[in-house]
Amino acid sequence: MTTKRFNFLLLFLMIIPFRAFVQESKVSLNGYLKELYMFYSPEYPIPGTDLDYLATNIIHNRLNLKWYTSKKLTTVVEMRNRLMFGNLVTKFPDYQSTVDVDHGLVDLSWITAQSNSWFVHSMIDRAYLDYSSGKWQIRTGRQRVNWGINLVWNPNDIFNTFSYFDFDYEERPGTDAVRVQYYTGTTSSAELVYKPGRVRERTALAGMYRFSRWDYDFQFIGGQAGNDWILGGGWSGDIRGAGFRGELTHFEPANNHSFRSTVASVSADYTFSNSWYIHSSVLYNSTGKLGKAGGMDVLFNPDMSAKQLSYARWSLFGQVSKPITPLLSGSFSGIVNPSDCSFYFGPALTYSVLNNLELMLTGQLFFGGSGTEFGDIGQLAFGRLKWSF
């Protein structure tokens, strides 16, 4: 299977540029190449090793192919290829298994090549057909079903939940689904999404109705997701020029393998005339802990759900950013668990070297006592150079 996938990858890489050349008016190809360096200083010594730090390099290539097959049909295939090396790979052989994960109906994730000190991971995270005719739009295949409204925590995003700390995956995960949308008006639509899964926990069938009223956008969702019935909604608008958003989802157990939960988030953001930008958000999780929330795993936890966006009952987020020069911008963000007094701090600097070349330096710094949500993690520093084409 690995050999077949590797041959498919080579064929894919050879065919795309050729097709884009001979059918320039019907095919578009873009993507990027970037290098990400991570240095991790854990809060406690690493068991079973003589290391007091972990480091890894990731050389990441992404290809986005869009073929306008006809006036009504569009074919999309997108994939990512990542070369990973460093002592995180050599000292933790199981790290490879946490990267090579695909919960979709079809496994489109594989290790292309590997050795004791490095490996190449490839994954197709978009592969769908999009058909549009009149007020109808039907999309089938691996796609991004984004029902989230807020910028940090998205309780409505039941199909493609993502972690705020996974900043290097801008496209976000995809899901194998059939999505049918009907536009009932200029600013209103109804849609139904069916996500088949290999097990019940990965299966979902839900619908959403979206409309605008009083200069606000509203949405209501309902259906079944895994072992839960879900019901929720959200809004997006502004108050005196400040963005005001919120979303809530209630999870009601459909069988004995689940538990009742309500997750909600509200956020506000504003850009001043001098280009300062501020953003704040609060997350509520009815099943979260009020005491010490227990440590989270930022390296080896690739899976999360809209039902468990945080271990805490309450979480508070804040961010400020500003362009320092036309080419350089800075940002500071933070998350606080007010119950156990642990917190996260994330400074970032981004510099535009060229129109399509960007340098970013950022950190993920976690603090708190033992047994708290952020206290047992440590500090991470990142450097990234990204070239887009």
How far is Cα of residue 151 from the mean position of the Cα atoms in its chain? Answer: 11
Mean pLDDT (the chain) is 90
Each residue's pLDDT tens digit, 169-194:
999 989 999 999 999 999 999 999 99
User: What was the pLDDT predicted at 298?
Assistant: 63
CA distances (Å), 264 to each of 11, 28, 36, 372, 385, in order? 45, 39, 33, 22, 35
Identify whether the C-beta of residue 344 lies closer than 8 Å to the C-beta of residue 374: yes
Domain hosting residue 75, numbered range: 2-388
At 198, the pLDDT band (50, 70, 90 cuts) reads confident
pTM (predicted TM-score): 0.86
Question: From residue 119, how far is each of 58, 60, 111 by CA, in Å?
Answer: 10, 12, 7
Nearest C-alpha neighbor of 129 from the set 187, 167, 176, 192: 176
| Structure token digits, residue 179 | 């999505």
What's the pLDDT at 299? 60
What's the rounded Cα separation, in Å, for the pair 229 and 309? 18
The domain that contains 265 carries what CATH number? 2.40.160.10
Query: pLDDT tens, 132-153?
Result: 999 999 999 999 999 999 999 9
Using the predicted structure, report yes or no on whether residue 1 has a pLDDT greater than 50: no
Kindly state the percentage of the chain with pLDDT values over 90.
Answer: 76
pLDDT, residue 202, reads 86
Chain segment 36-64, per-residue pLDDT in tens: 999 999 888 776 677 788 999 999 999 99
Residue 301's pLDDT is: 57
Strand (E) positions, 43-104?
54-67, 73-85
